[in-house]
Amino acid sequence: MNPKAANRLRYASLLAALWLLTACSQWRYDLGMPLPKSGIPEVEQHAGLSEALIALGPPQRISATRDGYVLAWEHWHIKENTLGLSLGLMGADLFSIDWGQMHAKGEFLLLTFNRQHQLTASARSEWDNHGGGQAVQPFLGLISVVDVGDLTGKMTQHRWGGSLLKPLPRALNNDSSPETGQNGVEQRGTPTAIGQRSLEMH
Amino acid sequence: MKRADFILITLLCTSLLPACVQYENKRGVDVAWQTTVTQQLVKGTSTRQDVLALLGPPSQLIALDDETVLYYLFEHSEGEGLILILYNRMRIDTRYDRAIFFFDENDVLTEYSTHIDESQSS
C-alpha cells in the first residue's frame, strides 16, 4: 500500500472510531435549595402556619385536605452518567452497547396544619439512591438504560389551569389528581400504576 | 493535498471541535412579589383583590371551605455544558421563586410568604 493510501486509511479509521462512540455523558440537576437543618417548627412547640412560613418560606407543594392544609418543601440533586458505543452516527441503528448510572439525593419536608392553622404533624425524609443498568442491543436500540425524566419534570402548578383539558382518562381522574391542590401532594418520581393516578392509565 | 484527504481531515477536525452550551428555561408567572411590592400588603386588612391587583392571576388557586390560597410560582433553570465528541457534560440548576397568600372567609389576607432566589434573579 502506498503511503498516501495508508494515511488516508488511518484518518478514515480514526474518524470511524470517533463516530462509533456515542460518548460519555454526564448530567447534573440541582432542583431547589437545600432545606435548613434546624429551626423547623415542631408539633410540640404548638407552632402555627406563620412560624412555618417565616422559617421555611413558601412551600413548593401545597394542597388543601379535609381538615386543613398540607405543605411540602423539597430539594433534589440528581447525577446521571452514561457511556455508550453504537453505530448510530454511521447510519445504522443496529448495534449498541450502553452503560448507565444514576444517583439521586434529596430531602423532603412535609407539614400538615389544621383549619386553625396549627401544626398537627411533620415528617422529614432524606435519601441517597443509586441505580443504573447495562445493555447490549444487537438489532435495535430500544431502551435507555438510565431515565431520570420523571424526577426532573416541571412543577405541577404550571399545569393547574389545564387540568380538565388532559386526555380523557386523566381528565376523568381530576377529582383524585394530586395536581389540583385539593387532593394532597406527591413527590417527584411517584409511581403512577398504583394510588391516586392509577385510573389515569399512563 | 488531494480532495479526499482534505475532506477526511476536515471531518476529523470537526469531530474534535468542542462546543460550549448555555441553557436557560423559564416557566410560570412574572415575579412581581419583590419586597417593595409586598410591603403594601397588611395582614388583617388587605384583601384578595389587593393581591390580585398587585400580582395578577396566580399559578394555582386552592380552596378550603371558605378559605382560599393564591400560589404564585416562577421556575427558572440555568445550565452550562461542554459538548465534545467523547465527553459531554451538562449541569442544570433549577430555582423556584414563589409566593403564597392565605385569605379568610371575608377575603381578607391572613398569612403570606414570598421567596425570590437572588442567585438567579432575572
Confidence (pLDDT) at A20 = 62
Confidence (pLDDT) at A14 = 73
Nearest to A185 by CA among A71, A76, A106: A71
Taking CB atoms and an 8 Å limit, are A69 and B92 in contact across chains? no
Least confident of A9-18, A20-29, B24-33, B69-78: A9-18
Taking CB atoms and an 8 Å limit, are B73 and A33 in contact across chains? no
User: What is the spatial distance between Cα B79 and Cα B50, in angstroms, rounded to a whole number?
Assistant: 36
User: What is the spatial distance between Cα A83 and Cα A146, in angstroms, rounded to a whole number?
Assistant: 11
Taking CB atoms and an 8 Å limit, are A58 and B59 in contact across chains? no
Query: For A56-88, b where at least 16 C-beta lie within 10 A, e where not — what string?
Result: bbbbbbbbbbeebbbbbbbbbbbbbbbbbebbb
Taking CB atoms and an 8 Å limit, are A182 and B87 in contact across chains? no
User: What is the spatial distance between Cα A16 and Cα A89, in angstroms, rounded to a whole number?
Assistant: 9
Taking CB atoms and an 8 Å limit, are A8 and B5 in contact across chains? yes
B residues 33-52 closer than 8 Å to A (CB): none
In this predicted structure, the answer to whether residue B1 has a pLDDT above a threshold of 80 is no
User: What is the spatial distance between Cα B45 and Cα B74, in angstroms, rounded to a whole number?
Assistant: 26
In this predicted structure, the answer to whether residue B37 has a pLDDT above a threshold of 60 is yes
What's the Cα-to-Cα distance from A52 to each of A46, A47, B9, B50, rounded to whole Å?
11, 7, 63, 24
Which residues are bridge partners to A20 per DSSP?
none
Mean pLDDT of the region B10-16: 70
Chain B residue whose CA is closest to A113: B64
In this predicted structure, the answer to whether residue B47 has a pLDDT above a threshold of 90 is yes
Contact A72, A62 (CB under 8 A): yes
* Cell 397568600, located at residue: B101
CB contacts of B2 in chain A (<8 Å) are 4
Confidence (pLDDT) at A147 = 87
What's the Cα-to-Cα distance from A130 to each of A38, A43, A107, A186, B38, rounded to whole Å?
27, 33, 15, 21, 43
Q: Does A62 touch chain B if contact means CB atoms closer than 8 Å?
A: yes
Contact B99, B114 (CB under 8 A): yes
User: What is the spatial distance between Cα B47 and Cα B70, in angstroms, rounded to a whole number?
Assistant: 12
Confidence (pLDDT) at A93 = 59
Confidence (pLDDT) at B49 = 97
Confidence (pLDDT) at A19 = 63
Q: How many CB atoms lie within 10 A of CB A98?
A: 20
Q: Does B83 touch chain A if contact means CB atoms closer than 8 Å?
A: no
B residues 103-122 closer than 8 Å to A (CB): 110-115, 117
Nearest to A60 by CA among A49, A73, A69, A77: A73
User: Which DSSP string corresponds to chain B?
Assistant: --HHHHHHHHHHHHHH--EEEEEEEEEES-----HHHHTT--TTT-BHHHHHHHH-S-SEEEEETTEEEEEEEEEEEEEEEEE-SSEEEEEEEEEEEEEEEEE-TTSBEEEEEEE--GGG--
Give 10-residue mean pLDDT values along chain A (202 residues).
78 70 82 93 93 96 95 97 72 73 96 96 95 82 81 91 85 89 91 85 72
- Write the single-letter amino acid at A185: V
Alpha helices, H only, chain A: 3-20, 49-56, 168-172
Q: Does B85 touch chain A if contact means CB atoms closer than 8 Å?
A: yes
Mean pLDDT of the region B78-93: 87
Mean pLDDT of the region B8-34: 83
**A169 vs chain B: nearest CA distance in angstroms?**
22
